[in-house]
Amino acid sequence: MLVFWKARLVLLAVPKTGTSAYEAALGPHASMSVLDPPELKHAPVYRYNRFFRPMFEKMGAEQMELMAVVREPVSWLGSWYRYRQRAFLDGKPTSTRGIDFDAFVEAYVGTERPAFANVGSQSKFVEPRPNGTGVSHLFKYENQGAIIGFLEERLGLALDLPRENVSPRSELTLSPETEARLRQHCAADFALWERAR
């Protein structure tokens, strides 16, 4: 999570949406960079609302706007799947080594997710709170031009994004049946991505 105090903007770090590259490029310009622990770095709206919003309001920033980036759901799950194939996870319950992508997605949409498929939900991450706290600026990961343009204008800087935290390549094929189950199970995530800029 990156906080730009003067611009009254908070960039939420939705996992697997290029946040490491934005941290590398924008970290030096941020008023606050929350990088650890992961539960705070990747604070969803509900956690921001509970911990950060009250603190910012006490410091006089009642108009902080939230920005988030969401990824097409199949691509987002593919990024998680590839990330969890990395060697440092070998032998751990979160590893996807030896599991194909179709089986990973089947486990994700199942009733009890095993550790390797327990990766949360983008729609839950940005879900607005009853008090009105929510994301004001929602962008598609696939529309990097719009994201960069918005940040450059809002923050008054030129942005050069590095490639960071890139997962290894692997086959991401879904059977029609699995994709249909995913689209039904994750309808809120697909709808969220469709309405993002």
The pLDDT score that the predictor gives to residue 155 is 97
The pLDDT score that the predictor gives to residue 160 is 86
The structure's pTM equals 0.93
Of 59-73, 80-94, 165-179, the least confident: 165-179
The pLDDT score that the predictor gives to residue 133 is 96
**What is the maximal distance between C-alpha atoms in the chain?**
52
**What is the average pLDDT across 134-149?**
97
Residue 171 tokens read as: 């086959």
The pLDDT score that the predictor gives to residue 192 is 98
The pLDDT score that the predictor gives to residue 63 is 83
pLDDT reading at 23 higher than 90: yes
pLDDT reading at 153 higher than 90: yes
Residue 99 pLDDT grade (very low, low, confident, very high; cuts 50, 70, 90)? very high
The pLDDT score that the predictor gives to residue 96 is 96
**What is the average pLDDT across 37-50?**
96
Which structural domain range is residue 173 located in?
2-195
Is the alpha carbon torsion for 34, 39, 44, 46 positive or negative?
A: negative
Domain with 21 in it: what CATH number?
3.40.50
Residue 165 pLDDT grade (very low, low, confident, very high; cuts 50, 70, 90)? low
**What is the average pLDDT across 149-176?**
84
pLDDT reading at 164 higher than 70: no
| Cα-based distances in Å from 17 to 93, 105, 114, 178 | 23, 18, 23, 23
Provide the CA 63 distance to its chain's centre, in angstroms. 23
Higher pLDDT among residues 88 and 165, named by residue: 88
Q: What is the dihedral of CA 30, 52, 123, 41, to 10 degrees?
A: 50
Question: What average pLDDT does the chain have?
Answer: 94
Closest CA to 141 of 7, 33, 15: 15
What total of structural domains would you count in the chain?
Answer: 1
The pLDDT score that the predictor gives to residue 171 is 79
